[in-house]
């Protein structure tokens, strides 16, 4: 279970770190990195605020993933499967909410 702790902790930290350039609006429209949908790819004036908003969510998701995976690790008697599924559920749910909110934000700007 320690391996999964390090995996979730590390992925949360990595997610937080890779969002910093998006938050600082240093990443131009590209095909690899950012909130890449047709509207943002075609309009740089839309790309930067939408990606900054998405970066806010991704930073929060990364921090929540790291924090929750660490806290859940110390629950006595928790099985490996339960730990993995709880951590995954937290990530998937928060990521889905963040994605939906970023889409809504993008649509409110256009």
* pLDDT tens track, the chain, 110 positions: 899 999 999 999 999 999 999 999 999 999 999 999 999 999 999 999 999 999 999 999 999 999 999 999 999 999 999 999 999 999 999 999 999 999 999 999 97
pLDDT at 93: 97
- 62 vs 56: CA distance, rounded Å: 10
Q: Where are the beta strands (DSSP E) in the chain?
A: none
CA distance 106 to 19: 18
pLDDT in the model for residue 110: 73
Q: Global pTM?
A: 0.90
Q: Indicate the DSSP class of residue 33.
A: S
Long-range contacts (CB closer than 8 Å, 24 or more residues apart) made by 13-19: 13/62, 13/66, 14/62, 15/58, 15/59, 15/61, 15/62, 15/65, 16/58, 16/59, 16/62, 16/63, 16/66, 17/62, 19/54, 19/55, 19/58, 19/59, 19/62
pLDDT of residue 39: 95
Q: Which of 19, 4, 107, 28 is closest to 57 using CA atoms? A: 19
Which pLDDT score, from 0 to 100, does residue 40 have?
Answer: 95
């Amino acid at each position: 279970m320690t391996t999964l702790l390090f995996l979730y902790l590390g992925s949360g930290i990595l997610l937080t770190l890779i969002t910093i350039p998006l938050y600082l609006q240093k990443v131009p429209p590209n095909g690899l990195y950012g909130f890449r949908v047709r509207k943002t790819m075609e309009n740089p004036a839309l790309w930067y605020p939408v990606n900054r908003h998405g970066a806010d969510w991704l930073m929060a998701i990364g921090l929540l993933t790291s924090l929750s995976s660490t806290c859940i690790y110390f629950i006595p008697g928790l099985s490996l499967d339960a730990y993995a599924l709880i951590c995954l559920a937290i990530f998937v749910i928060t990521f889905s909410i963040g994605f939906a909110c970023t889409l809504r934000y993008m649509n409110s700007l256009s």
